[in-house]
Every structure is written in C-alpha cells, then in structure tokens.
Structure 1
Amino acid sequence: MSPTALRRSLLAASAVLVTAGVALAAGTASAGTLSGTLYRDPDTAVARWVAANPGDSRTAMISSRIASQPATRWLSNFNVSTVQSEVSGYVGAAVSAGQVPALTLYGIPNRDCGGASAGGAPDLATYQTWVGNIARGLGGRTTLILLEPDSIALQTCLSAGEITARDQALATATRTLKAAGAKVYLDGGHSAWNAAAEQARRLANAGVADGDGFYTNASNFQSTANETAFGRSVLSALSGRGIAGKRQVIDTSRNGGAAGDWCGDDNTDRRIGRYPTLDTGDANIDAYLWIKPPGEADGCAYAAGSFQPALAASLATNAPNPPTTTPPTTPPTTPPTTPPTTPPTTPPTNPPAGACGATYTTSSSWQGGFQGQVTVKAGGRAINGWSVSWTLASGQSVNQVWGGTLTVTGSTATVRNAAWNGSLQPGATADFGFIASGSAGTPGLTCTA
C-alpha cells in the first residue's frame, strides 16, 4: 500500500549514499527506547492465504517465514467513522496478548502524488479529524505509529504553500498521537533518496521535535547497513538543528537481497531482511519493523497492497528461519495505560469522597495554538462517570479532544469521559487532552462525578 510510482524519481535523484564517517556514535545501550514483543495480528492477508491454501507447495515456507512474523497494520482505507473502533480493537487485542502494536498511518491528502497508491483524505481538516479518531482509539495504550510514508521525502508534486500546510498537518498529527500514548515516527525516506541534511531539514519542518524520531526504507530495498549509516547522519543533522534524543526505525521487510529499482512486483532477487524486533542492539534504533507486509504488491504489476503468494514465496526463498521466541507472559515493560505526556505542573488535588478533581497543564504551544492535558482524579469512593468544565478565554476555541467527548455552550467547554475511562476506583486517575486555538492559559476547572 506504500507509495510506489513516485520512487521512479529516485534513479534520477542527486541524493548520495552517506557513510558511517559522519554518523553519531552508536552508544553503549543494548537497544533503543523500546522493549517487549511486537504484536502479530492473526488476521492478516498472508495468514488468511495460508489458512485457505494448506495444500499449496509454497504454504509451509510462507507460513514459517512470513505469516509467523509481526508486520504493521496499515490504516489506508480512509474512513473517519470507523477508524476509531478499528484502532481500538487492534490495539486492545495486542495489549491483551502482552505485545506491542504497530500502525502505519497512510491517509494524508495527495498521497503518492497521485501515483499507484493515490487516495487519502479529501482535505487537511478532514485528515485531522481522522487522526483525532485514531488517537481516541489508542486509549492511552502504547503503540508504535509510522506516520505517512513518503509524506516528507516526496514533495515534488506540492507547491511551497502546500508543503507548509502538509508540514503543519504532520506536526499537529504528531502532537495529537503523542498525547494519546503513541510512539510517533515520521517519514525519513531512505539512503538512496534525499541527502541526510535535506531529509533532516524536512523532518524538522514537519515537527519531528515533538515525535520520537523517524523511520526509513519503508517499502524499499536498501540494506540495513546503508540505512543505519544514513540514519546516523540524519540524527547528526537534526542535532545540529537543536533536535536531540530522537531514534530511527528501519523497515527490513524486503532488504535481504538486491536493492535496485523501486518496484518489487516483478523482481526475483529480493529477500526478506532482518526479522522484526525491538531488541535492536543499537541505542539509536528503536525497532526493525516489517512496515511493508512481505508479499503485498507495489502497484506496477499487481494492484498496490494486494497480497500475492508468488511475491511472498520469492521473498521467503533462501531466507533463514526466524529465531525461536517465547511469547511474554506479562505485558511489555512500557506501561500501556499511561500516555507519555508532560506531568501536571501541580499534582491532582484530593477531592472529597464521591466527587472528583481535575488539574491542567499545557503540554506544548505554538503560534496561534496550544495543546492541553487534563488529569481527573476520583475521590474517596468509586465513580462511574465524570465531566470537566472550564471557561474559554477570549479568542480560544477547542479543535480536537481525545480521551473524552466535548460540548461547548457559549464560552463554557465541557469534556465528559470516554467509554473506556469513566469508571474510576477511589484515588484513581484518568486523562484527556485537547488542541485549541488561541493563547494558552491556566483555566479554572470544575470536575463533576
């Protein structure tokens, strides 16, 4: 489902392959910032094909080397009304399994510059509504999000004004998803596309400072060694712009063989690469992921995103068997229930028995807007629902809310609990966040249980 035809321009691009000589030091940590086992969805296209074709001569190999492995779930069929429930179900299943889910968001307007994977939202305002619904579906549960493949590396079809608007949309989406508990990585292109300094400039403009880092090689074939060197150069360039502490994710789904041109539909010299893992052994790399599910077409010989067993078998041929792993008996070390947001500037007050209290913090701000976070705390006995109200200052308006449902009457904004966070035991807390226009302040909150 990833952009395809746009990669034809790579052969003519002036980008050069970076070397490790300009890279950051690798560090001494055994892995990046993540730990745990990636979620393997039992209902993927490859899993369904394996189940339906037990007698096919290719089935055993495809099953053991591809269907057995976790790949990211793509949110590419743009549907504002159903995406929240889709995300909630998928992430909930992963958390119940004690595993870490990964989602690839692919709905930006004018995606693929009208190529084989064209589509997405009709406009940026609708796109933000879609992203907000995805955030609500996360429900504060830790999820890896690969935000919009090729949205930053590919800009040839956009005017200067459209590039600025897209950058702002990606920055807003990053903040929205971060506040909902996600680990967010932006499009880093790959080592044979834009130069590292140029890619870092684009990432900075698109708000990578508010995210966790960037991913590279999505749906492409560049070697892990080249991507690692390229990633270190991008990290170095970001550091030179005052953006530190970011990490890289590398798509290794199809980079175990030849590199070459952009399309994998009719090539037999491609192989699956390193198996997906969060145990990277590199402090600069958070994950090796199969962003592009192996066996799904690029769009040159087959429909983009369609599963083709011939492609899967070709990728799996001569590949090593995956390592044997034991499923975790406990959830990942990263707690799935608490979003990684800035803590309130003051702790939630202890409300009286049967009531609730609420505290506010501004988690980020920018010209013309800000992001707020509210923590609700139950009193001395359990509550089965809550609402928080405050008075909007002059010029303020709330544009998006996650973790609750918003109503505005005159200048009074009220957020009521979502279905999943309304019941609180004594002293327990719940969070909701919002993005608003205007200048940030410190509102006086009233909590009602």
Structure 2
Amino acid sequence: MKRRQRLAAIVAATATAVAAALSAGLLLSPNAGAQDVSAQAQALWTNPNTAAARWVAQNPGDSRANMIRDRIAETPAGTWFTQTNPTGGIAAQVSAVVDGAAAAGAAPIMVVYNIPNRDCGGASGGGASSHEVYRGWIDQIAAQIDGPAYIILEPDVIAHDCYNSTERAQINASLSYAAQKLNAADPAAKVYIDAGNSAWLTPSVAGSRLQAAGIQNADGFSLNVSNYRTTEEATSWANQVRGIVGSGKTAVIDTSRNGNGPLNPPNPNDWCDPPGRAIGKFPTTATGVAGIDAYLWVKLPGEADGCAGAAGQFIPDLAYQLANNAGSGWPGDVEPTDPVTSDDPTSDDPTTGGPSGDCTVHIDTVSSWNNGWQGKVSMTADSAVNGWTVSWTWPGSQSVQSSWNTQLTTSGSTVTARDVGWNAAVGAGQTKELFGFVASGPAADFDVPC
C-alpha cells in the first residue's frame, strides 16, 4: 500500500489503527515526535512508543523522568526489527512505523537485525532460522517501505569473526540481497550496510568485507552502532573506508552514546555498558561533513548492551546517567528549523524573554478517536523569537494526557508549555510546529495570541 493509500487508511480508521498498533507494541501516531528541520535537512521521526517513552509516561513523578524525556524519549532514534514472526507479523510492525513517519512528514531510522546466528550467539544472539527464511523476511519488509527512510542493515555482522567460509559466503549473499531489495523499494529510502566500528576493524579489512557483502547495492555503510568511539575518530575512519569502496558510497555515524567517547584507558569490555559515557550529537541529516550523510541515534540510549542488564532492556539509571553526563550545554547548535522567509534585514535579531504579543499560537487537530485526539501546536511569529512559553485555556472538558518536545504543565483547564532548548527559535515571518500532544475530550481547533 503506497503512501497516499496509507494516509487515507489512517484517516478512515484511526481508532482501529491505534488499538492495533498498541497491541503490537508500536503506536501509530501521525506527527508524533517529528523533528522540525530546515529545507536542507530531512526530518527524522521520533517513535513515541520506545521503552524510554513508555517508562516516562508510567513514571511521571520520578526524579529522573524529565531528563530522560527531554533528552532521550523525545529525540529521533532507531526502531529495531529483530524477530522473524513478531506479534501481528513483521509487515504490520514495519507498516506501523512507515505510516507514523509518513504522516509526520519525517523519515524513520530502521534497523534490520535478524541475520541467522546473529551476534555469533552472544548477548544479542538469535536471528532467522535459515538464509532462505531471512530473505523472505526481507521481502516482507521491502514491501512496506514507502518514502524516505534510513535503513541500517545488520549491525556488526561483517565485523564478527565467528563464521567459517561457507557461513560467511551465505551471509554476504543475504546482505547483498537485502541491500538490493530494500534499496529498490523506494528511491527515497537509503540503505547502509553496517561496518562495525573504528576500534574493531582496520579500514582495509572493513572495505574488503563491505565489497564482499554487496556495498555496490547499498547507499553506503553505517558505523559505531551501539559503540562509543568519538564522532571525529569515526569520521576519519569512514573516509578511509570510502577510499576503498568508492567515494560515491557515503556513511552514517551512530552518535547516540559517544558524547564522552570510549573508556580511557581502553578496557576489553568498553563496548558493554561502560560507566561515565554520555549521549552524543543530536541526530541530523545535515552534518556539514562531505561523505557523512547523517549523525543518527541507532542504538537507543538507556537500553543495555548486555552487561548492565539483558541486551535491549531499558534501565532508567543507565538512561539518566547518559543524558545527565552530556552536561548543561547539550545539544549545542542544532541544525536550524524551517527556513525564515522575511525581507526585514533586522529580523534575525532574536527577542529575549519569549513571545510578547507579536505572534499567534495555533492549536490544531491531527487525528481523533472515541474520547480522545491528537493535536499539534504551532506558532506564527511577526518578529524572531528565541525561547517561548505558550499558554491557553481549554474551551470545554479537554485534558492533555501526554506530550512531546515540550515541558508542559496544567492547572485546571489552563495549559502552559515551554520550549526544550533545541526548538526554542522561531524566525520572523515563520510558522513553525512547536510540539504535539494527546488529549482526552472533544477535539479542538483554535488560535490564541502569544
């Protein structure tokens, strides 16, 4: 089902789709967590039903909740597909993610991780029962790809050395098949075969293994997935690999947990939940670095490597430490949001203290169902704003149940929402989406002055 058909289905059967997605562990939520970016960057989708987001929703009074919400749950990150036959089927899982991202006008980060004898039977062991089954599984995923996506193919598999020559040949054939099939699914989808990290393989070995695995069928390669090497080190290594596989092949770097780099001095187990690490660069597809397509959060911060807990288990203390260790300056300079359209030469001078009557806030309904609805809040600014607080009073029995990309409080029927740093700026003459929410009660559309 292609995008226009998908969106029509969402509108026609929102309540049914939400219920089905919830039962499958995925929330089909139009516009949820979409990152506002400039015309030069591709918006990345934030899955509103990650383990971190669910934990925050279930523990609003926990002292760690705000930090984990603002820095992890509301940041675009990877959705991992790891089971051959998940509840509801792999096609339904992929479709829910593709639909949610398409409705938000954003690209999902999708991690395909189900190769036979995955992780050499280690902490993340498992995978399809055979390569024939694996390729059929890939076919089902490819059939659901519709629109832009960043697809990471089989983290660490080419870097592992546990496979004999026959197994390696089978793996390479399956990787090549997957890259070709997924890349052909939609011209806007980008596929990256994972190459391990800069402390695991030399550039020459990585380049040789990528070529054997069918890099010619992919857009490029990913690196540093679930690891901690610095972005600078990873970039240098990636460019050396590109010199081998061809400069037409690009790279994406996992920056989810490399803010403090690896342990120093090195430790044999520094890949496995090492202490003192921090979240890294905010995800963006505008890196400003030739040959590097994106900085992505492929691994979800707070989900264990296999030492602090079972691989993939969300641990609040781990998430909080990673977020808190990034310091008060995180995320720093983030790629600007929607371009400013103003002829006023002084419009780039930001106001201080937030909106002050020279802007309008729009509350719009995105979708609705029985006794509930999803809304979005946008601002149209006459002059530039740097830091905002918006407030309104509901006209009836509405009540916010959850929100993203904002610090939101309620008092009776009055709602007050504040920026979370990276989305603080609204340019002069710009209409920009600020945040989203889910509410109970009747859906509402109205404007309020700042």
1:176 equivalent in alignment to 2:181: yes
1:151 and 2:157 aligned? yes
CA distance in 1, matches of 2:51, 2:337: 22
CA contact 1:258–1:269 (8 Å) conserved in 2:
no
Deviation (angstroms), 1:326: 8.0
Q: Once structures 1 and 2 are overlaid, which stretch shifts more, 314-323 or 225-234?
A: 314-323
- Aligned residues of 2:279 and 2:325 also touching (Cα < 8 A): no
Counterparts of 1:98-247 in structure 2, within 5 Å, are: 98-138=105-145, 140-154=146-160, 156-181=161-186, 182-239=189-246, 244-247=247-250
Pair 209,265 (structure 1): closer, same or farther in 2 beyond 3 Å: closer
2:284 aligned residue (271, 277, 284): 277
CA deviation map 1:59-117 (0-9, x unaligned):
11111111110001000122177111111111111011011111001100001001011
CA distance in 1, matches of 2:84, 2:252: 25
Say if 2:43 is the partner of 1:40.
Answer: no
> What one-letter code is carried by the residue in structure 1 that aligns with 2:184?
A
Amino acid of the structure 1 residue aligned with 2:179: T
1:398 equivalent in structure 2: none
Q: Report matched runs for 1:31-430 at 5 Å.
A: 35-79=41-85, 82-138=89-145, 140-154=146-160, 156-181=161-186, 182-239=189-246, 244-260=247-263, 261=267, 262-263=269-270, 267-319=274-326, 320-322=329-331
State the one-letter code of the partner of 1:281: G
Give the whole-Å Cα distance in 2 for the aligned partners of 1:328 and 1:43.
26
Distance 1:293 1:96, change over 3 A: same
C-alpha displacement of 1:237: 1.4
1:166 Cα deviation (Å)? 0.7
Q: Which deviations, in whole Å up to 9, do the C-alpha atoms of 1:166-199 show, x marking residues without a partner?
A: 1011001111101101311001111111110110
Contact 2:108 2:150 in 1 (8 A): yes
Give CA-to-partner distance per residue, 1:325-383, whole Å, 9 cap, x none: 88769xxxxxxxxxxxxxxxxxxxxxxxxxxxxxxxxxxxxxxxxxxxxxxxxxxxxxx
1:256-298 deviation digits (Å, cap 9, x = unpaired): 1141344566533100011111111112011101110000001
Greater relative contact order, per chain length (Cα 8 Å cut-off, separation 6+): 1
Using a 3 Å threshold, how does the CA distance of structure 1 residues 307 and 263 change in structure 2: closer, same or farther? farther
The one-letter code matched in structure 2 to 1:141 is G
Spell out, residue by residue over 1:372-427, the C-alpha distance to the aligned partner (whole angstroms, 9 max, x if none).
xxxxxxxxxxxxxxxxxxxxxxxxxxxxxxxxxxxxxxxxxxxxxxxxxxxxxxxx
Q: What is the SS of the residue equivalent to 1:227?
A: helix
CA distance, structure 2, for counterparts of residue 148 and residue 183 of structure 1? 14
Change (3 A) 1:148 1:44: same
Q: 1:266 to 1:163 in 2, by over 3 A?
A: closer
Matching residue's letter, 1:256: G
Separation in structure 1 between the aligned mates of residue 151 and residue 174 of structure 2, nearest angstrom: 16
The structure-2 alpha-carbon separation of the partners of 1:93 and 1:76, relative to structure 1 and needing over 3 Å to count, comes to same
TM-score scaled by length of structure 2: 0.62
Q: Relative to 1, partners in 2 of residues 1:198 and 1:85: Cα closer, same or farther, differing over 3 Å?
A: same
Does the aligned pair in 1 maintain the 2:107–2:148 contact within 8 Å?
Answer: yes
Worse-matched range after superposition: 40-49 or 76-85: 76-85
CA contact (8 A) 2:277 2:325 kept: no
- In structure 2, the CA distance between the partners of 1:67 and 1:102, relative to structure 1 (3 Å rule), is same
Indicate how the Cα distance of structure 1 residues 328 and 306 shifts in structure 2: closer, same or farther if over 3 A, else same: farther
The aligned amino acid for 2:239 is: R
Q: Could you say what secondary structure the match of 1:275 adopts?
A: coil
Percent identity over the alignment is: 45
Secondary structure class of the residue paired with 1:89: helix
| Residues 80-89 or 101-110, more deviating | 80-89
Task: State the distance in 1 between where 2:239 and 2:116 align.
Answer: 30
Report the Cα distance in structure 1 between the residues aligned to 2:41 and 2:330, rounded to whole angstroms.
Answer: 22
Contact preservation (8 Å) 1:264, 1:270? no
Q: Which structure 2 segments of 5+ residues have no match?
A: 1-39, 340-450
Taking structure 1 as the reference length, the TM-score comes to 0.62
Distance of 1:217 and 1:191 partners within structure 2? 7
Offset at residue 315 of structure 1 (A) = 0.3
The one-letter code matched in structure 2 to 1:65 is R
The alignment covers a number of residue pairs equal to 292
1:39 and 1:101 in contact (8 A); partners too = yes
Paired with 1:324 and 1:226, the residues of 2 have a C-alpha distance of 21
Alpha carbons 2:78, 2:300 under 8 Å: kept: yes
